[in-house]
Structure 1
């Protein structure tokens, strides 16, 4: 690993201003929408989809949840090949984004428009697996290419898509069901995803060089621009899968942050159920989810700012600590003050993990080697994340409520803290 990479592992520069061009801002907005869609189809939306389909079709809720986990495991293979495409082809990230969105749109339509349980299970798995393409592998490569030096701030803005989804999508889905019926809601959302796939095909470029711009919107000479563009086009990363697999820093970073992604999904996907169990009406619980998403919008930028200011590793350690405290509050929901504080803390954290994971990979490996490292990092993180649904389902079967799951998740936060604390420069290993 180069000296430059070693230096950036510990801390970022003190500059915390994002200087994006209009095209750069449009790229960030499209990435934000991709994150929103992922949350809608695979995390926040489960608060609505699972309960509605369970009531409509008579399927067991705990059995329905596990298919998202299985889809995530299938996604391990998909993520690897998505990563291969992004690392081998200059426009690979755009191809992956568009293709996975199209498949997701088709799968989501049949997700809610078929009363066959087997088709339902296949579509849930397809949505879960494909989300790794458009909301993880592709957008992370795209943003690292466009903002290699200011990735923390860029991700802090784009990952607002996750908490925005948390804030508004459950209510949107709930209202759509009342307006156009359960099947109609799935159809409307599928059409939106398909339309966004067309937008991504037309405008979401894999790198700034494709449209005559320079990373981080920096101004350079024509000679320097031509030289760097040629270097990027011909660069072959030395980071093979075998070499990555032998790197301690790689495993500590990706397992540690993958576990925190699992914690996030486990909490958010079942927060409405937790609040209903605490005595809230379902409508009020969905409203609390919206409040949490509102806090998360600010939290996304906050974690990006912290990342840029103190470094990705230190931001990751703070993130683990913050979530552990939030889980304690979720266990002891003694009064409304505690409940609102828990919702606030979880909300602030929702967008953080989507920021920290690609930022850590970019910090360790840099722009040129990001795609090569990401093709293994993505499957590892995603596979761990997918265990959230199985973890919650098993907890519900064993204990009958979510308290046992929250206790286990606190232990996972501690383990993640220990792993991330071991992410040190290569020459210190």
Structure 2
């Protein structure tokens, strides 16, 4: 089936299928207690499996981004299905042989590589199919990743109780392989020059809306040499670091600061997942209307205030509402970044650039929980931790404002006649 004959909404559905499968990694904690009871492994040993998977997600996304661009979404999606399916199923063998090292190898490394390839595979394709709704399209897929734990957790728990840990990994590995593999077969980029019905890619004609032009068309290696790339990297790193840190300590922090019960704190943590997922589609869609720069500025401005006031709140429900809003910003940061990349650097190698950007996720996944624990131990309270986060978001806000200056210059350069443009380039 040729690209022009495909339905772009089915392309989006295929992307959701991939992300819902790989997003099940966020339900890893379901295995924690069963593994402790059956294998006698410690909490840190089991949790390291998840950290390792996130690390290899970021690393594989960065190193295999060019592979995705070269061979296309069908091949890279198939590769993801193999790595993730084998990795999850192999975790069952690791439990069977009672080997923690095998668990790290299969779930942490092999499944982690499948995670990274699967995460970036649909994104550049979706951006090309939805030039008019970039935020919505990428938000749909990445929303699937955010909601996956809510879908997977009860299923995993039922399978563990019914069939045991090893068999659960075997069943999940086979299922994820089939879903990702089948989803990948429908993925394909549109033919060159394709635009949605009712739009025109070059000029505005009667009855046709014009597609907003990208500022540039850069390769991944060209993009990483720009300060705009590193501005996006730092903004995403700060947003993820603080978000992951809050996720890792939400329950004890709420109990310490506002005195809610452990049961209420557990409920709050569960609801946080809902806002994390819904924030991905909400903010990405909003970005189509108000622009990506405005969305990130709103993220950071709100979180500066939120983290500053949280230590002084004594009412549990108000504390929870603010944390939920922070979670929407955390999720929205993931879903809005691919469209932001497309706006700044074009779609030529968006998947590879996205892969490079996601190294911020790998770094934040390691730094966030360690950082929050260190500040907590140093200051003796979560109050100090939240104030430090507020300070970090001041830096992120400043960067989000500075990048607007570059965007304005690039936009002006695009509107300058070719002769004057060459003179401007020589003088800069």
Do the two structures share a fold, i.e. TM-score over 0.5? yes
Within a 5 Å distance, the mapping from 1:14-413 to structure 2 comes to 23-41=7-25, 43=26, 45-89=27-71, 92-113=72-93, 114=95, 115-122=98-105, 123-135=107-119, 137-203=120-186, 205-209=187-191, 214-217=194-197, 239=219, 241=221, 243-268=222-247, 271=250, 279-281=261-263, 287-325=267-305, 327=307, 334-371=314-351, 373-391=353-371, 406-413=386-393
Deviation, structure 1 residue 149? 3.0
Q: Secondary structure of 1:141's match?
A: helix
Q: Secondary structure of 1:50's match?
A: helix
After superposition, the CA RMSD in angstroms is 3.6
Deviation, structure 1 residue 23? 2.1
Q: Which runs of 5+ in 2 are unaligned?
A: 202-216, 411-427
CA distance in 2, matches of 1:53, 1:393: 24
Deviation, structure 1 residue 390? 4.5
Q: Is the contact between residue 30 and residue 157 of structure 2 (CA under 8 Å) also seen in structure 1?
A: yes
Mean alpha-carbon deviation: is it higher for 113-122 or for 45-54?
45-54
Deviations 1:204-253 (A, max 9, x none): x231339xx934455679xxxxxxxxxxxxxxx65352x33331111111
- Structure 1 residues 215 and 65, CA, compared in 2 at 3 Å: closer, same or farther? farther
Mean alpha-carbon deviation: is it higher for 138-147 or for 389-398?
389-398
Q: Is the contact between residue 257 and residue 353 of structure 1 (CA under 8 Å) also seen in structure 2?
A: yes
- Structure 1 residues 99 and 175, CA, compared in 2 at 3 Å: closer, same or farther? same
- Structure 1 residues 400 and 57, CA, compared in 2 at 3 Å: closer, same or farther? farther
* Greater C-alpha Rg: 2
Q: Secondary structure of 2:87's match?
A: helix
CA distance in 2, matches of 1:107, 1:294: 27
Mean alpha-carbon deviation: is it higher for 377-386 or for 193-202?
377-386
CA distance in 1, matches of 2:282, 2:354: 24
CA distance in 2, matches of 1:54, 1:397: 26
Q: Is the contact between residue 375 and residue 385 of structure 2 (CA under 8 Å) also seen in structure 1?
A: yes
CA distance in 2, matches of 1:26, 1:33: 10
Q: Is the contact between residue 236 and residue 360 of structure 2 (CA under 8 Å) also seen in structure 1?
A: no
Deviation, structure 1 residue 77? 4.2
Deviation, structure 1 residue 74? 4.2
Q: Secondary structure of 1:301's match?
A: helix
Deviation, structure 1 residue 154? 1.6
CA distance in 2, matches of 1:184, 1:331: 45
CA distance in 2, matches of 1:399, 1:105: 43
Q: Is the contact between residue 104 and residue 127 of structure 1 (CA under 8 Å) also seen in structure 2?
A: yes
Q: Is the contact between residue 97 and residue 134 of structure 1 (CA under 8 Å) also seen in structure 2?
A: yes
Q: Is the contact between residue 297 and residue 397 of structure 2 (CA under 8 Å) also seen in structure 1?
A: yes
Per the normalisation by structure 2, the TM-score is 0.75
Q: Is the contact between residue 320 and residue 417 of structure 1 (CA under 8 Å) also seen in structure 2?
A: yes
Per the normalisation by structure 1, the TM-score is 0.75
Match of residue 10 from structure 1: none
Q: Is the contact between residue 219 and residue 348 of structure 2 (CA under 8 Å) also seen in structure 1?
A: no
- Structure 1 residues 285 and 109, CA, compared in 2 at 3 Å: closer, same or farther? farther
Mean alpha-carbon deviation: is it higher for 77-86 or for 327-336?
327-336
Mean alpha-carbon deviation: is it higher for 381-390 or for 307-316?
381-390
Deviation, structure 1 residue 104? 1.3
Q: How many residues align?
A: 384
Deviations 1:111-157 (A, max 9, x none): 3552211112222233334312111x212212112112310122233
Q: Is the contact between residue 220 and residue 350 of structure 2 (CA under 8 Å) also seen in structure 1?
A: no
- Structure 1 residues 401 and 68, CA, compared in 2 at 3 Å: closer, same or farther? farther
- Structure 1 residues 75 and 183, CA, compared in 2 at 3 Å: closer, same or farther? same
Q: Is the contact between residue 80 and residue 114 of structure 2 (CA under 8 Å) also seen in structure 1?
A: yes
- Structure 1 residues 61 and 328, CA, compared in 2 at 3 Å: closer, same or farther? farther
Deviation, structure 1 residue 336? 3.3
Deviation, structure 1 residue 192? 2.3
CA distance in 2, matches of 1:263, 1:202: 37
